[in-house]
Structure 1
Amino acid sequence: MADTSPHRQYRHLNMSNRFAHSKVQVLRDGRFSLHTNDHANRLQAYLEKRVKKRPLGGQVRRKTQKKDPIDYKAVLGSYEGLPRINIAIHIVGSRGDVQPFIPIAQALSKPPYSHRVRICTHPVFKDLVEENGIEFFSIGGDPANLMAYMVKNPGLMPGMESLRAGDVGKRRVEMAQIMDGAWRSCIESGNGLPEDANVVRTRKEEDMRLFIADAIIANPPSYAHVHCAEKLSIPLQLIFTMPWSPTQAFPHPLANIEPSNVDPSITNYLSYSMMELLAWQGLGDIITRFRVKTLNLDPISPLWGHLLLSRMKVPFTYLWSQELIPKPKDWGPHINIAGFSFLPLASSYQPPDDLMAFLNAGPPPVYIGFGSIVVDHPAELTRTIFGAIKRTGIRAIVSKGWGGLGEDTPPEGVFMLGNCPHDWLFQYVSCVVHHGGAGTTAIGLAMGKPTVVVPFFGDQPFWGAMVFRAGAGPEPVPYKKMTEETLAHSISLALGPEIQAAAESMGKMIVRENPGAAEAARYFSEAIDLSRMRCFLSPERVAVWRIKKSNVQLSNVAVSALMAGGHLSFEHIKLIRHIDWYVDEGAEGPSTGVLGAVSETVLNMVMNIADYCRGLSRTLHEDLEKGNKDSFEIARAKDAVHGDAMDPDTLHTIPTRIHIQPADTYPHGRLEYIAYRMASKTARKADKKKRRTWKQKQLDKQAQEFSRSNDMRSTVEHKHGKIHGVAHETRHFAGSMIGAGLKAPVAFFYNLANGCHNLPSYAFGDDTVRRRDKITGFGSGIKAATKGYGLNMYDGITGLVTQPYLGAKKGGAAGFGKGVGRAIGGLLSKTLAAQFGLLGYTLKGIEKQVGKRGSRNLKARLIAIRLRQGLLEYENASEEEKALIMDRWNKISQAQHQT
């Protein structure tokens, strides 16, 4: 019977270009089948041009570092030690995904690092995180629901039953909530749970809990990581337990490569892009909404968004032993393998008496367990396990797990086990049989135990294959093909002398390696380069601010000290951008750019319609008074604790010399008002003799509204009733649709210009293509347009001479011919890029400039948090440190005068 399900279109993905045709089909075991054919050699050359030979990208340090004429290191001398920073660790997944990050967080929070580390994951893991001494923040989501969904739909695409039950929509809503929670974990205090937000605290207590991430660590499935890092301009490190970076050494763990005439190394490499594309196909609109609505960032098309991590060379650390999977040769220096990260649980475990009696009653048993895997027919699986045990004549410990195994009476020599730490239990067993989860595989190999993998779905076949390749276990037999005979045969092979010797040898080599958590912490510190994040005046603190038009980066304490001394005012400083992530490189070619622009416009309009429908439903059906009663009571209580609001008549006055005092003694709303003025770039000293303009009065009004609403975000939005609410939603919808229409030509010309600009690099292997300047406003848009026009025209014309010459120099006559082709293609594409760039980049600059007003509140909120942190840190700083800051400032001032 033909597959006529409505999601059939998502089970197949076909990609064709002039090099090859690739067909991707999602399988029901959670993996995908990849078949590639046609011109293998041309495909290999294309991939090498496309990714392998591209220069390191993604992270761009501030331009001012190149312009400042003062050598501050020579002026201030060399300092020892590194700053203490705030780290947010984003984790989405099961307990097995969360557990390896806990030892890493512990290592980073202790000397020599002593960072403040916060693990941000699902609320069900709160106790696990906190009982190990790590700060916790809830990003929402329920891994139990996710596991149930995966068991029900083991493939990447859902079944008809899930579609009818609305499971897909629920999981998408949950993923959107997780992304929003990940962003909140970067900027909010507390633990992210509702009950914590409702606790009334003094302003002093609230200030003590303030948090803004200075760096992010994440596992790739959390997906919000790179977007949060881009918004905050902070370092990002990805850490995972399975391969996620493209390589020719082995395929993506979820890929099943079909035989073809293409070199296997090429299809291996291609499988990673296909996996990312499938993920973006399902989550692209959620990511776009998150970027646009929550972070006020530009949308990213899935057509090039799926290449984001590999394009930008985001630092990766993998948690497995190189004895099991050596680092592939085509992985760059930004990718490291740290080793297995184990959370020791054996020391605190007290085994029950019956378990100890069973272990002492005979030879070491075989462990059989499938963890959190849930099967449709547990009784049948139990009979299969018991039958294999009888065939081999062994003693066995069978874990009940989530699947409810062992309801039948177990035969003699079998012990049914509940929850038990693997690092304790595996000391006493002769062999381990499990589903192939990364964590269980790791601890079994580290203990030197022969391993039998019975994969169910996902990455489990990959780990089974790696164990088999290492000789530490037999070839894995999938669960659906497992019988009494196959399981008994696999166990017998695993207990043989060859596999036992190989497993013991691997266990000894793993034990000799440095602990994976410590290595991961070291790689993280090296990747983010903490020495470049230090404050110039107080190097043991992280720089938070930068003096405008200079390279002087300062900590909160340094800024407070200089303001107290009258050397700085709010108009002189801005939030520092430690790293500018070059996210929007754009399309690979003009056709992709046009398609991306069309899809962006359509998606923008669809999101506006969806928002309008949700807004109407909320307005018409919610009991607003009841829904906001508690929030008003909480806000009123907080107001009573925080004190009275300040006099509106004095709000517009921002003094040059600041009297530094504890943050909790400032009038309510004062710091928020200053933050808004800084965000809108109007934080200048007020001239009382000069009459304020209408624009200044409007800014004052906006700043006052922000200062009042910053701590009372849950006020009634439609306080005039449902009719007023419907009118408000309709007015907002009309404005958003007009905005979407105005953005359509911007997206078209901007993406078309990017596509023409990038085409020579991707299609012809032209390594002379220059990186386009980042557009942040009208001025930078004009600069990018004019500069791009001149350089593209210059490179296109001069390429007629330089490209054939370079080609002949590298490849003789054949290289000369290729150079002529690159020159002609480059002249055409670069000329078009110059022409379209004039309009496209200018329009983009205008759009960015207009959009800055919409991001003021978020920027002001970040500034307000930093101001409060600064006052608190200054209050707690020693007089000796304050004096040292002033002394170093005087040295910098003298150096500036001399230049």
Structure 2
Amino acid sequence: MRVLLSTYGSRGDVEPLVGLAERLRELGAEVRVCAPPDEVFAQRLAAVGVPLVPVYRSARALTTAKAPPTSLPQRAAELIAGQFDTVMKAAEGCDVLVATGVMPAAAGGRSVAEKLGIPSVSVTFQQITLPSPHHPPLAYPGRPFPPGVTDNGVLWDLDVQSINALFGDALNTNRASVGLPPVENVRDYVIGDRPWLATDPILDPWHPTPDFDVVQTGAWIMPDERPLPADLLAFLDAGEPPVYVGFGSMPMDASKDAAQVAVEAVRAQGHRALVSHGWADLALTDDRDDCFAVGEANHQALFGRVAAVVHHGGAGTTTTATRAGAPQVVVPQATDQPYWAGRVVELGIGAVHDGPTPTFDSLSTALKKALAPETRTRAGAVAGTIRTDGTTVAAKLLLGMVDRVGQGKPPVSA
């Protein structure tokens, strides 16, 4: 069986596919991944023996470029065109396609599968992109919702209008170029009737709706066996567990100030600090021995050795910290991150920072709550409830889809 996993986005959109790709290969499938041409993505996939088919431009370069919202339709058009070119070629001979990532990439991936006549499944790594009466949609840059509108049903209708306005013309132009009919509702086309939600049901509980049948597989996490760097291990062994500070793929305005504020707030709580460079290029502002800066590292191993994790609230980082039993301080920057911050608070496993820019006082307040003994106890209890079989569930579902098609039956999970 040949499987194509197609995505475009930040690390949170790519890393889960690494875990799924590894599990699929263990079950005998041939796997290839279409993703941004960032070196870290190629390295992670190479480690599990899966080739990266590069699509469009570097995700890190685009994220840190801070382009105005008006450029979003143009970038989407370029990305969709790349999907129809690169992904179309990569999908030839494949038995099933998994489409995820940002909306225009997923729309292109689903269209490629439709053109080639192969089953596909739409996957999201956070439920707030799925229409539901229980939560509102995210507003796209440059297209805020009208002030005072709070009804979720109305907001989801407006969401359809925004997505069609931003991506509809580009998608339908490319579909017409390969002989496909136009799509009237881009969002619902991408989601389909049976989307997959690759998140943990404790951390991200889905409330069923009558509109579609969501398949929640559990989070897609690959067991990370990479050893921690020797100098990092030496720092960890030299004292009490430090507080980790890192903001992943977020560029973080005034990143130098953010690092300094974080280190000072951590020190004020009597802890050492461990700062991750990330896409914001955070760096230490002094050379005292109670601080250490780290680049790429195994978070699964690292988070089990820290006093708390201060992070941006990405789905992957939140899940990894939760599985490790580490108390969290979430400093949400954008998109789905406020949602994950809210879940951390609701579960009692950490604190949320009010706003994207921490100050000494605001971060100190959040750290006090996260570092309280009762938070550590609760975080440890929740850690034991987080599922670890998400990639196995998803891989077997994909195998089952292909088997059904081979038997002349409809792919029920598409």
The answer to whether TM tops 0.5 is yes
SS of the residue corresponding to residue 132 of structure 1 reads coil
Q: 2:226 aligns with which of 348, 352, 356?
A: 348
Q: Is the Cα contact below 8 Å between 1:387 and 1:484 reproduced in 2? A: yes
Corresponding residue for residue 320 of structure 2? 443
Taking the TM superposition and a 5 Å limit, the aligned residue runs for 1:12-411 are 85-111=1-27, 114-124=28-38, 125-149=41-65, 151-153=66-68, 157-158=69-70, 169=74, 172-187=77-92, 212-221=93-102, 222=105, 223-243=107-127, 244-253=129-138, 267-293=151-177, 295-301=178-184, 304-309=185-190, 312-313=192-193, 315-330=194-209, 334-345=213-224, 347-353=225-231, 355-411=232-288
Corresponding residue for residue 519 of structure 1? 393
Deviations 1:585-633 (A, max 9, x none): xxxxxxxxxxxxxxxxxxxxxxxxxxxxxxxxxxxxxxxxxxxxxxxxx
CA spacing shift, 1:386–1:109, aligned 2, 3 Å: closer
Q: Distance in 1 between matches of 2:325 and 2:277?
A: 24
Q: Distance in 2 between matches of 1:95 and 1:309?
A: 21
CA spacing shift, 1:333–1:456, aligned 2, 3 Å: closer
Corresponding residue for residue 420 of structure 1? 297
Q: Where does the alignment leave 5 or more consecutive residues of structure 2 unmatched? A: none
Q: Distance in 2 between matches of 1:258 and 1:387?
A: 40
Q: Is the Cα contact below 8 Å between 2:149 and 2:155 reproduced in 1? A: no
Q: Distance in 2 between matches of 1:242 and 1:253?
A: 11
Q: Distance in 2 between matches of 1:447 and 1:179?
A: 40
SS of the residue corresponding to residue 352 of structure 2 reads coil
CA spacing shift, 1:514–1:328, aligned 2, 3 Å: same
Q: Is the Cα contact below 8 Å between 1:215 and 1:235 reproduced in 2? A: yes
Q: Is the Cα contact below 8 Å between 1:242 and 1:253 reproduced in 2? A: no
Q: Distance in 2 between matches of 1:253 and 1:446?
A: 26
Corresponding residue for residue 533 of structure 1? 406
**Residues 1:465 and 2:342 are matched in the alignment:** yes
Q: Is the Cα contact below 8 Å between 1:465 and 1:476 reproduced in 2? A: no
TM-score norm. by structure 1 comes to 0.42
CA spacing shift, 1:220–1:138, aligned 2, 3 Å: closer
Quick one: which amino acid aligns to residue 318 of structure 2?
T
CA shift at 1:108, angstroms? Answer: 2.3
Deviations 1:244-269 (A, max 9, x none): 3211222335589899696xxxx334
CA spacing shift, 1:350–1:405, aligned 2, 3 Å: closer
CA shift at 1:328, angstroms? Answer: 0.7
Q: Is the Cα contact below 8 Å between 2:10 and 2:59 reproduced in 1? A: yes
Corresponding residue for residue 661 of structure 1? none
Q: Is the Cα contact below 8 Å between 1:186 and 1:213 reproduced in 2? A: yes
Quick one: which amino acid aligns to residue 382 of structure 1?
A
Percent identity, please. Answer: 26
SS of the residue corresponding to residue 205 of structure 2 reads coil
CA shift at 1:380, angstroms? Answer: 2.0
Q: Is the Cα contact below 8 Å between 1:234 and 1:579 reproduced in 2? A: no
CA spacing shift, 1:352–1:109, aligned 2, 3 Å: closer
CA shift at 1:454, angstroms? Answer: 0.4
Taking the TM superposition and a 5 Å limit, the aligned residue runs for 1:315-714 are 315-330=194-209, 334-345=213-224, 347-353=225-231, 355-480=232-357, 482-510=358-386, 513-526=387-400, 528=401, 530-534=403-407
Quick one: which amino acid aligns to residue 288 of structure 1?
N
Q: Distance in 2 between matches of 1:282 and 1:257?
A: 15
Q: Distance in 2 between matches of 1:438 and 1:121?
A: 18
CA shift at 1:445, angstroms? Answer: 0.5
CA spacing shift, 1:254–1:325, aligned 2, 3 Å: farther
CA shift at 1:185, angstroms? Answer: 1.7
CA shift at 1:214, angstroms? Answer: 2.1
Q: Distance in 1 between matches of 2:149 and 2:56?
A: 46
SS of the residue corresponding to residue 351 of structure 2 reads coil
Q: Is the Cα contact below 8 Å between 1:384 and 1:484 reproduced in 2? A: yes
CA shift at 1:307, angstroms? Answer: 3.2
CA shift at 1:504, angstroms? Answer: 1.1
Deviations 1:525-557 (A, max 9, x none): 45x3623423xxxxxxxxxxxxxxxxxx7xxxx
CA shift at 1:324, angstroms? Answer: 1.2
Max Rg structure: 1
SS of the residue corresponding to residue 386 of structure 1 reads helix
User: How many correspondences in the alignment?
Assistant: 404
SS of the residue corresponding to residue 133 of structure 1 reads coil
Q: Is the Cα contact below 8 Å between 1:288 and 1:299 reproduced in 2? A: yes
CA shift at 1:276, angstroms? Answer: 4.1
Deviations 1:722-752 (A, max 9, x none): xxxxxxxxxxxxxxxxxxxxxxxxxxxxxxx
Q: Distance in 2 between matches of 1:487 and 1:176?
A: 43
Quick one: which amino acid aligns to residue 185 of structure 1?
A
CA shift at 1:496, angstroms? Answer: 1.2
Taking the TM superposition and a 5 Å limit, the aligned residue runs for 1:742-781 are none
Q: Distance in 1 between matches of 2:302 and 2:25?
A: 29
Q: Is the Cα contact below 8 Å between 2:136 and 2:156 reproduced in 1? A: yes
Q: Is the Cα contact below 8 Å between 1:398 and 1:417 reproduced in 2? A: yes
SS of the residue corresponding to residue 141 of structure 1 reads coil
Q: Is the Cα contact below 8 Å between 2:13 and 2:101 reproduced in 1? A: no
Quick one: which amino acid aligns to residue 292 of structure 1?
A
Q: Is the Cα contact below 8 Å between 1:233 and 1:578 reproduced in 2? A: no
Quick one: which amino acid aligns to residue 208 of structure 2?
K
Q: Is the Cα contact below 8 Å between 2:60 and 2:249 reproduced in 1? A: no
CA shift at 1:578, angstroms? Answer: 6.5
CA shift at 1:398, angstroms? Answer: 1.3
SS of the residue corresponding to residue 96 of structure 1 reads helix
SS of the residue corresponding to residue 97 of structure 2 reads strand
Q: Is the Cα contact below 8 Å between 1:138 and 1:185 reproduced in 2? A: no
Q: Is the Cα contact below 8 Å between 1:339 and 1:516 reproduced in 2? A: yes
Q: Is the Cα contact below 8 Å between 2:145 and 2:158 reproduced in 1? A: no
Q: Distance in 2 between matches of 1:260 and 1:376?
A: 29
Quick one: which amino acid aligns to residue 300 of structure 1?
V
CA shift at 1:410, angstroms? Answer: 4.5
CA spacing shift, 1:331–1:365, aligned 2, 3 Å: farther
CA shift at 1:514, angstroms? Answer: 4.4
Q: Distance in 1 between matches of 2:248 and 2:411?
A: 41
SS of the residue corresponding to residue 326 of structure 2 reads coil
Quick one: which amino acid aligns to residue 390 of structure 2?
G
Q: Is the Cα contact below 8 Å between 1:91 and 1:120 reproduced in 2? A: yes
CA spacing shift, 1:237–1:174, aligned 2, 3 Å: closer
